[in-house]
Amino acid sequence: MCGRLSQYRGIHDFVDALSMPNALANSVDEQPLGRYNAAPSTQLALFHLEDDRLHADLVRWGWRPHWATDRAPPVNARVEKVAHGPFFRAIWPHRAVVPIDGWYEWVDEGEPKKQPYYIRRRDTAPILCAAIGQYPRADCDRQDSDGFVIITADSAGGMVDIHDRRPVVLAPELAREWLDPATPRERAEHLALLQGEPSETFEWFKVSKAVGNVRNQGAELLLPIEGAER
């Protein structure tokens, strides 16, 4: 996953996709989020569960522990290592879901500039990505160190031709289980490792190279180039 995504629907569209009956504590604007070309460090809508309430907050995409000052905050965490490595140990228990509409990858096709592809669900439903992070809690204020990372896994099938890594995407019932603090850590690791949606769930197509400039925003970035469907 190359670190660019879209999150343009309204928060209630994402809540509906999650199908969670819990009361919502929403600190996100009610209007469509309108992020068609979100880059690392962007404040993105994030779901987490606290005191049996679903919380929707804007949290920075990217996180690093306080001692890792020699590198930029990663935006992704490899599922094979995230549960046991020291880097994400502090936030592994703090599970969240990042609802997105799709993400971008860049492919070297022999031209001076790599060709961007947009990836979304074939049914165009919201994508529920497994994440972990440090985010606002009911009993404390926001902190400068707040942030999250998206968990990624190996790609499979035709998606390998686009990129070798992809987000761990969970079906709604599994996303609810992932969010539940009562879910044991071993079960959470199993969900991330083995229960992500298969590559066949998604479709991908070429889009304008204008997406390479993060200042470019708008729904036109998501339009397929003619004849580019995969």
From the options 3.90.1680.10, 3.40.50.880, 3.40.50.1100, 3.30.565.10, give the CATH code of 5-222.
3.90.1680.10
Task: Please tell me which residue in 80, 105, 129, 177 is annotated as part of the active site.
Answer: 105
Residue 105 a catalytic site member: yes
**What is the mean predicted confidence (pLDDT) over 169-193?**
96
Which tens digit of pLDDT belongs to each residue from 137-174? 766 677 888 999 999 999 888 788 888 899 999 999 99
Task: Please tell me which residue in 2, 50, 177, 197 is annotated as part of the active site.
Answer: 2
**What is the mean predicted confidence (pLDDT) over 1-29?**
92
Residue 129 a catalytic site member: no
pLDDT higher than threshold 70 for residue 204: yes
pLDDT band at 227 (very low <50, low <70, confident <90, very high): low
Q: How many residues does the structure list for the chain?
A: 230
Boundaries of every domain in the chain: 5-222
What pLDDT is attached to residue 139?
66
Which tens digit of pLDDT belongs to each residue from 10-21? 999 999 999 998
